[in-house]
Amino acid sequence: MLTRRERVIKTLTFSNPDRAPRDLWALPYISLFRQDELDSLLQRYPMDIGASQLSPGWSDTITQTASRIGAYTDDWGSVWMIGEPGVIGEVKQPAIANWSELDHFSPPWHLVRDRDLTYTNQCCDQSDQFMLSDVTARPFERLQFLRGSENLYIDIAYGTANFRKLLALIHAYYLEDIRSWCSSNVDGIFFMDDWGMNNQLLINPQTWREIFKPLYQEYVNLIHGAGKFAFFHTDGNTEQIFGDLVEIGIDAINAQLFTMNIESLSHQYKGKITFWGEIDRQKVLPFGAPADVKQAVQRVRSAFDDGTGGVIAQCEWGKDNPKENIEAVFAAWEA
């Protein structure tokens, strides 16, 4: 009988796990307002992947503010607005909307340098789940939060000295963040950036390769150098750079498969990377019936689940998703 950690590792290394590991992302709204439903589902379908925790009381601005409406300032100095409890919100006042503010800016180094991993290590040692770090690097998204999206796209186009300076500062911060997690007992390091629209990449793929791919390569090298697995999440249609993500050595990628050609992804990359979910959360999970969910899971399984590994039974539980549809996801993976 495999432990949950062993099951995930066999999946990531294509070593014939007994089944696809389970992983559920319950968004803040679910844990705030539908905890009983969440507890019931987790009792029926225990998850194989767990999230490590820092010491109780450690700063987590988004979690602390998700239950109330209004503005808050994040640890980087950007002002967010939450319009509905349980929904993370969006940046309304970027910390560096004007470049004049860059000279006085510093990342929140204390979040990395004062981090105490004792509790995290205890959680990892006491669990048989495969444990992931908190989200670490997200350079593209952090740039958006700090500059605002419109400013950032202009920055990328012109490649000014100020843009390069800010990017270097953010990258240095995230390298230190990842090094910190690499010193812990977690099994995998989780980093992310949302790169796609529904039909294509947000920026020119060649520009992505010149600016961001080298940063990701450094992150993966650090993670693998510590003997850990690299987990990456990105939303939208990322077919244009999917091969690049495989090339730099990411072990598991969480992508919006249903915005892309699932069968083409299988043909090109099956056996080269683990597909860490997901199931269509734009249409099927919020608006479909359990039968539609089952059909969506069957499509993913047909593409990736041949018993050798390389696929994780993952989905995201959002505010408007019926519990029956989330249950149908995991039931279909057991069929």
The CATH class for the domain spanning 4-59+96-334 reads alpha beta
**pTM, entire model:** 0.96
Rg of the chain, C-alpha, whole Å: 20
Q: Which amino acid is at 324?
A: E
Q: In whole angstroms, give the CA distance from residue 58 to residue 113.
A: 13
Each residue's pLDDT tens digit, 186-195 = 999 999 999 9
Q: Which two tokens stand for residue 309?
A: 């590994």
Q: In whole angstroms, give the CA distance from residue 40 to residue 43.
A: 5
Q: What is the mean pLDDT of residues 259-287?
A: 97
Positive or negative: CA dihedral 243, 244, 249, 251: negative
- Residue 87: per-residue pLDDT: 86
What average pLDDT does the structure give for the chain? 95
- Residue 335: per-residue pLDDT: 83
User: In Å, how far are 23, 170, 239, 273 from 266, measured between CA atoms?
Assistant: 20, 34, 12, 10
Q: In whole angstroms, give the CA distance from residue 47 to residue 315.
A: 11
Residue 276 in 3-state DSSP?
A: strand
Each residue's pLDDT tens digit, 201-237 = 999 999 999 999 999 999 999 999 999 999 999 999 9
DSSP 8-state assignment for residue 7: H
Res 175 pLDDT > 70: yes
Q: Which amino acid is at 165?
A: K
Each residue's pLDDT tens digit, 283-315 = 999 999 999 999 999 999 999 999 999 999 999
